């Protein structure tokens, strides 16, 4: 597909949810344009026009507009070229949706907002981490990692022998968690997940969607 096919992604460059959609677009070979919207800027009137809950990402495809990452990625898989990212077997497909549900309902906040955002993201922007949030996040993260470790099917990718939307949903969240020293230490207790993260991290789509955080030198120079 070419840029003219008209996929526009509204989102925030540092968002793990934005990265899930970008991974899906790249794995499917769909060209797209990104429009930067920061949901943490208050007020962000343009965002409210696109998303009643004021979150990112939002996909626009011609006259069709949709938010909620799992729904966006399922749509992209169904309209895009490239290998299917949803397994045909009902049980594997159910596991894929189960893993996406676990991440959205129980995983994102402890792994990303409590541990990664406090330990890694906040200091990169000159802010102090909230240690109590990190401790609480690590405690809740154990339950999430226990559940995921049990579900990794051991055939290479998370739910089958092929890459699926579950792999693309988990990769940005676990990669973020792994950047916090406490996160990496805890992940060491989950050998299947740690091995899966090593394997998925070398995919070209993971490399091309990586956004580096500002360094102290960038901050000094006002970048
Ligand atoms: N359920 C939403 C969650 C999206 C989400 O939480 N995005 C974060 C960025 S990673 C956001 O916009 N946060 C803004 C806020 O919490 O105020 C989805 O699946 O797309």
Please give the pLDDT value at position 222. 67
CA 100 vs CA 77, 158, 180, 194: distances in Å: 15, 11, 22, 18
- Cα 170 to middle of ligand 1, angstroms: 15
- Cα 59 to middle of ligand 1, angstroms: 13
Residues 159, 203, 68, 104: is their CA dihedral positive or negative? positive
Ligand 1 atom nearest 108 alpha carbon: 6
Ligand 1 atom nearest 70 alpha carbon: 19
CA 94 vs CA 86, 97, 207: distances in Å: 10, 5, 28
Ligand 1 atom nearest 113 alpha carbon: 10
Question: What's the pLDDT tens digit per position in 39-91?
Answer: 988 666 778 888 999 999 999 999 999 999 999 999 999 999 989 999 999 99
Task: Return the best residue to mutate from 12, 17, 37 for the ligand 1 pocket (most ligand atoms within 8 A of CB).
Answer: 17
Question: What's the pLDDT tens digit per position in 11-34?
Answer: 999 999 999 999 999 999 999 999
Pairing of strands 7-11, 64-67: unpaired
Side by side, which strands form the sheet with 64-67? 33-36, 7-11, 58-61, 64-67
Which protein residues are within 6 Å of ligand 1, measured from CB?
A: 12, 15-17, 39-40, 55-56, 68-69, 104
- Quote the distance between the C-alpha of residue 143 and its chain's center: 19
């Amino acid at each position: 597909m070419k840029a003219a096919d008209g996929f526009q992604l509204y989102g925030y460059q540092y968002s793990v949810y934005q990265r899930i959609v970008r991974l899906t677009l790249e794995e499917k070979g769909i060209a797209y344009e990104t429009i930067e919207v920061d949901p943490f800027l208050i007020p962000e009137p343009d965002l409210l026009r696109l998303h009643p809950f004021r979150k990112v990402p939002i996909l626009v495809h011609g006259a069709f507009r949709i938010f909620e990452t799992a729904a966006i990625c399922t749509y992209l898989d169904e309209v895009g070229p490239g290998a299917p990212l949803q397994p045909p077997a009902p049980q594997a497909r159910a596991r894929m949706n189960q893993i996406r549900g676990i991440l959205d309902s129980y995983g994102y906040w402890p792994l990303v907002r409590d541990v990664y955002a406090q330990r890694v993201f906040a200091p990169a922007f000159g802010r102090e981490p909230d240690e109590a949030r990190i401790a609480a996040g690590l405690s809740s993260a154990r339950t999430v990692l226990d559940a995921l470790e049990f579900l990794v099917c051991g055939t290479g990718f998370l739910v089958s022998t092929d890459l699926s939307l579950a792999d693309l949903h988990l990769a940005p969240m676990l990669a973020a968690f792994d950047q916090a020293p406490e996160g990496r230490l805890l992940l060491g207790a989950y050998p299947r997940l740690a091995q899966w993260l090593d394997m998925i991290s070398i995919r070209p789509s993971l490399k091309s969607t990586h956004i580096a955080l500002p360094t102290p030198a960038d901050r000094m120079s006002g970048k």
